[in-house]
Structure 1
Amino acid sequence: MTGQPGTTQRFFRIDGSPVHVRREGQGPVCVLSGGLGCSWFDWDLVVGLLAPHRTVVRFDRPGYGLSAPARPAPSAAGEAERIRLLLDALGLTEPCTLVGHSIAGFHVEAFARLHPGRAAGLLLLDASTEPAPHPRPAPALRDLAARTAAAAAGALAVPYLCGPLGRRLVARASTVRREDLAPAELVRRCYRPRRALRAALRENSRYLDVAAELAELRERAPLPEIPVTVMAADAGRGTRRSARWLDRQRELAELLGARYRTVAPAGHLAMADRPDAVARAVLELP
């Protein structure tokens, strides 16, 4: 499944690059944004449950899915602005619920702080969290290194030969079901080009910078008075690492004054393991 009846697929030019966006369903608007390396189809199971009740907007950040690479380096403010421009292009200007998975949790929180009148609620799904982040030195040099590494890998056909397999292995490691439900044809189409590797390397190289940017934003731009849910994935393994992760998720909820809940059993790709719980949490928000 890659879309619901009445699905609209569009490409909008944002910062000079075509961005793939899909709109489906009816009702209040809900925006879904996936983590590092995710594509639009990672939300398919959740969208199937939401579309009868929500107008669902999901998109591919630059380089992922069907979106072209972007020139600017990733930033929290840049991704928040991308969401705003996509909603404007779709003519959806009313306040909306935003779901940010993993690193996209930074992006949707930044959106709510920078555009408080446009956010009706937040769901941070196993979201990235850094208690005291500091930006790393030489951001431009690191971004250049990421782009150069992706170009070298592309010249050697590494993404073409290994991209789909790498996607499969990461997805299997990130779900308790140990499988990737994404259609093989779409995985090949989206992960063979070097743009996905380039995007992942760039986002990873800027991760702490974006976390530090959001920490600074929290100091000067208050979160609007909207309901926020922090939902942590619990695979049920009971390891020290998983316990630390759940502790950090609770701390994030406390920091934001959010409701905290766990979804179990679920890996990091909780939308694949427990789409029912994710959809239910979205529908509890405005």
Structure 2
Amino acid sequence: MTERFVRVDGRPLHVRREGAGPVCLLSGGLGSSWFDWDLVVPLLTPYRTVVRFDRPGFGLSAPAPDPPTAAGEARRILGVLDALGLPGACTVAGHSLAAFHVEAFARLYPARTAGLVLLDGSFEPDPEPLPAPELRDLAARGLAAGATAVAGPYLLGPAARRLVARANTVCGEDLAPVELVRRSYRTGRALRALLRENSAYLDVAAELAELRVLAPLPDAPVTVLAADDGRDDPRTHRRLARQRALAGLLGGEFRTAAPAGHLLMFDRPDSVARAVLDCA
């Protein structure tokens, strides 16, 4: 296992590389850190070189000066692979919000894409960006700065992270290591990154919708793995229908991981690993 910091667009990013074989890269959803993949990685490393990294502001990575964009996050993935000396095609897997990022990567860098796996991925069929992106980003940064000034992230960050994780798993637990959660979520930079990504959500979705028109997917397998919590209620049915629609839009295979909440890497790491291994 190699753990290091690499510079991408001038910013130091925390990266881990493990295993051997064809390369796969794992990118987490909104507010995620590298250790959220801990249960999945041992199932992949006997067969794959596994790369995971913290986006700016999350985990151990430095914050970024600019708000996120689909093209920028795709370029960041490319920069991580290049910095690690991995020039070939790669299977890219994105959870939740990061589904936008890995799909953009596949469209912008088709020669570097061996497969695409979307894990309960964000999906907006007809997104419209909100007005005043600069003001929204300024507000997000200001809110984070104000909360940090009164020690909000230090006092409440880890507890909030655990509550969100428990609400998004069938097991009802945050299975990430307690000390790493404290280390990562007590910082103002994590809150700032989370608020900025959330503020830019529809902007990134709209940018990806334009890319879908301009840049076709490569001739590579696509898998959409949806979390099925087993509940027979309208919310679960709607979520699964959206994931099925995403698979149809991308011409990909639709699978379910059950029983699993949105953090399906905690509830069903075996299903996540199988989707990645079968995709290339």
* TM-score bracket for the superposition, by shorter chain length: over 0.9
Measured after TM superposition, the shift of residue 16 of structure 1 is 2.6
Tell me, yes or no, if structure 1 residue 76 matches structure 2 residue 75. no
- Residue 4 of structure 1 is matched in structure 2 by none
Q: How many residues align?
A: 280
Mapped to 1, the partners of 2:56 and 2:29 lie a distance apart of 12
Structure 1 gaps of 5+ residues are 1-6
Mapped to 2, the partners of 1:16 and 1:146 lie a distance apart of 23
Mapped to 1, the partners of 2:244 and 2:191 lie a distance apart of 32
Mapped to 1, the partners of 2:175 and 2:68 lie a distance apart of 28
**Identity value in percent:** 71
Mapped to 2, the partners of 1:238 and 1:95 lie a distance apart of 40
Measured after TM superposition, the shift of residue 14 of structure 1 is 1.9
Mapped to 1, the partners of 2:176 and 2:210 lie a distance apart of 37
* Residue type at the aligned position of 1:186: L
The two structures have a TM-score, normalised by structure 2, of: 0.99
Q: Deviations over 1:34-86 (max 9, x none)?
A: 00011000000100100111000000001110001100110100000000011
* Residue type at the aligned position of 1:259: E
* Residue type at the aligned position of 2:79: L
Q: Deviations over 1:182-240 (max 9, x none)?
A: 11111110000111111110000000000000000000000011100011001011221
3-state SS, counterpart of residue 120 of structure 1: strand
Mapped to 1, the partners of 2:10 and 2:108 lie a distance apart of 22
Mapped to 2, the partners of 1:223 and 1:132 lie a distance apart of 19
Q: Deviations over 1:128-147 (max 9, x none)?
A: 00010011100011000000
- Residue 33 of structure 1 is matched in structure 2 by 27
Structure 2 gaps of 5+ residues are none
Contact 1:16 1:70 in 2 (8 A): no
The two structures have a TM-score, normalised by structure 1, of: 0.97
Tell me, yes or no, if structure 1 residue 16 matches structure 2 residue 10. yes
Tell me, yes or no, if structure 1 residue 159 matches structure 2 residue 153. yes
Contact 1:15 1:70 in 2 (8 A): no
3-state SS, counterpart of residue 12 of structure 1: strand
Mapped to 2, the partners of 1:174 and 1:182 lie a distance apart of 13
Mapped to 2, the partners of 1:165 and 1:172 lie a distance apart of 11
3-state SS, counterpart of residue 121 of structure 2: coil
- Residue 58 of structure 2 is matched in structure 1 by 64
Mapped to 1, the partners of 2:277 and 2:8 lie a distance apart of 29
3-state SS, counterpart of residue 32 of structure 2: coil
Mapped to 1, the partners of 2:168 and 2:12 lie a distance apart of 29
Mapped to 2, the partners of 1:11 and 1:166 lie a distance apart of 27
Tell me, yes or no, if structure 1 residue 261 matches structure 2 residue 255. yes
- Residue 50 of structure 1 is matched in structure 2 by 44
* Residue type at the aligned position of 1:193: T
Contact 2:7 2:83 in 1 (8 A): no
3-state SS, counterpart of residue 99 of structure 1: strand
Contact 2:63 2:193 in 1 (8 A): yes
Measured after TM superposition, the shift of residue 181 of structure 1 is 1.1
Q: 1:124 aligns with which of 90, 103, 118?
A: 118
3-state SS, counterpart of residue 235 of structure 1: coil
Measured after TM superposition, the shift of residue 157 of structure 1 is 0.3
Following TM superposition, the consecutive aligned residue runs of length 4 or more in structure 1 with deviations greater than 6 angstroms are none
- Residue 244 of structure 2 is matched in structure 1 by 250
Contact 2:169 2:267 in 1 (8 A): yes
* Residue type at the aligned position of 1:140: E
Mapped to 1, the partners of 2:130 and 2:266 lie a distance apart of 33
Q: 2:186 aligns with which of 192, 196, 200?
A: 192
- Residue 228 of structure 2 is matched in structure 1 by 234
* Residue type at the aligned position of 1:73: P
Question: What pairs up with 1:70-109 in 2 under 5 angstroms?
Answer: 70-109=64-103
